Amino acid sequence: MIHKNTPEEMIEVIRKAPKVALFSHVSPDGDCIGSMLAIGLALEKMGKEVSLYNPNPVPSYLAFLPGSSRISQALPSPQAKVLLFVDCTDLGRVNMSRSDIPEDSTVLNLDHHISNLFFGDFNWVDVHASSVGELAVTFINRLGVEFDVDMATNLYTAIVTDSGCFEYSNTTAQTHRLTADLLDIGVDLSLIHHNIFNQKPLAQIRLLQCALNGLEILADGQLAIMTLSAEDFQKSGAEQEMSEGLVNHARSIAGVEVAVLLKELSPHEIKGGLRSNLWLNVNEIAALFGGGGHQRAAGCTLRIPMAEAKQSITTAVEEALRIGRDH
């Protein structure tokens, strides 16, 4: 049976579990890593055995987070009976399927994406939260665990990254209240912002240069699209993770409503990131290609060559912009 938005039931499952395995999504960001680490530290304070898993290595800019070195790319063995998935719309975001999970396991799903498939036995999904970090604060509070600086550092990082440093439309008064409480605990604000926003590897700047070289402005100035080929990554020396956030350079152009970054993972695998500024729901566009996310930030993967992917995404965005203007 699928349960939707049942935080108390999920908390009760966690309370009873002696051992919990935590999972977060591929191409990890500050929200999934920070939230998973904070919850893991809280569970250990309760005396529970905890394992932390992500399919990919922790990005270098997040390596300062307390506990990040403990995140493994190997699935825990033996597997815990309680599995908590953090910031995942579906099991595919962890490169898993239901057949990978023992039948006697309990799957918990903690997320804030509008495209979440409610794949857990228990699902706590709040699409109004700026980040899973917000939900993690409430989660830990309800467990009755006292916050420490390490947990607060992870949670502040989760919230500040997924809210775009409190710039995105998902930022609410509650977002600020929660982060104020975290600052009161003694979070080193300068350290976090220095690592996340002020330290860019030279390879990432070179990758940005490649993306800007191919920038196109379409749809009467409302669409900005950038592409990155496999050769661009090789030439710049950048890892895939270094493309995180580059799409916002296109989004910041005056008059642009939708920004798109397409990056080539292989000749027939193109990952797309979509961002909008004021009104267009890019989640609906991503869903056309089997993806999803939020109204103002979404992603998808197209298993076709770059030229076809670019044309398909451009056509879909232009149509959405046209329909939006007509209404």
The whole-angstrom separation of Cα 159 and Cα 183 is 12
Q: What confidence score (pLDDT) does residue 6 get?
A: 73
Tell whether the model's pLDDT for residue 1 goes beyond 80.
Answer: no
- One-character DSSP codes across 41-67: HHHHHTT-EEEEE-SSPPPGGGTTSTT
**pLDDT mean across residues, the chain:** 94
pLDDT band at residue 257 under the 50/70/90 scheme: very high
- Contact by Cβ (8 Å): 43, 20: yes
Decide: helix, strand or coil at residue 280. coil
Q: Where do runs of H (alpha helix) occur along the chain? A: 7-16, 30-45, 132-143, 149-162, 173-185, 189-197, 202-213, 230-236, 247-251, 282-288, 306-326
Give the whole-number percent of the chain exceeding pLDDT 70.
98
Q: What is the mean pLDDT of residues 202-225?
A: 97
- Contact by Cβ (8 Å): 165, 139: no
pLDDT band at residue 324 under the 50/70/90 scheme: confident
Tell me which of 251 and 1 has the higher pLDDT.
251
- Span 40-71, pLDDT tens digits: 999 999 999 999 999 999 998 999 999 999 99
- Residue 259 carries which side chain, given as an amino acid letter? A
Which domains are delineated in the chain? 3-197 (3.90.1640.10), 203-326 (3.10.310.30)
